[in-house]
């Protein structure tokens, strides 16, 4: 899971994307995964725990890519008027990881 590179506190992807929603062209970024990842890596996020700023490139890339998919897959995932993410990204990511793990176990026959 995503952690602050400064203080190590676990981060909520929903809060992180809320910060990115201040970008004028955010809705455009959701059209291309490369653009989205590029913008995320160069975005200066502020940790809600220690208040320090850090770049998105310190966040796990695989999770960032899944966040892009989740925001696109769920209709109404973003409240554009309030500039807020509506879906619980961390829970969805955890669920996704669990299903992947389960899938692996089924394939290898290890329960």
Task: Give 9 or 98: the residue with its C-beta nearer to Zn ion.
Answer: 9
Interface pattern 31-50 for Zn ion (x via CB under 5 A): ----------------x-xx
The closest of 2, 8, 1 to 50, measured between CA atoms, is 8
Site for Zn ion, residues 52 to 91, rule: CB under 5 A: none
* Distance in Å from the first CA to the final CA of the chain: 24
The closest of 84, 92, 102 to 63, measured between CA atoms, is 92
CB of 64 to Zn ion, least distance (A): 18
Q: Contact positions toward Zn ion, by CB under 5 A? A: 4, 6-7, 9, 47, 49-50
């Amino acid at each position: 899971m995503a952690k602050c590179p400064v203080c190590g506190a676990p981060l909520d992807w929903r809060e992180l994307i809320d910060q990115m929603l201040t970008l004028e062209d955010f809705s455009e970024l959701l059209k291309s995964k490369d653009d989205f990842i590029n913008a995320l890596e160069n975005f200066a996020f502020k940790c809600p725990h220690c208040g320090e700023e850090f770049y998105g490139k310190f966040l796990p890339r695989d999770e960032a890519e899944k966040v892009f998919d989740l925001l696109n897959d769920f209709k109404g995932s973003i409240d554009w008027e309030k500039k807020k993410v509506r879906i619980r990204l961390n829970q969805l990511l955890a669920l996704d990881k669990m299903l992947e793990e389960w899938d692996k176990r089924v394939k290898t026959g290890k329960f």
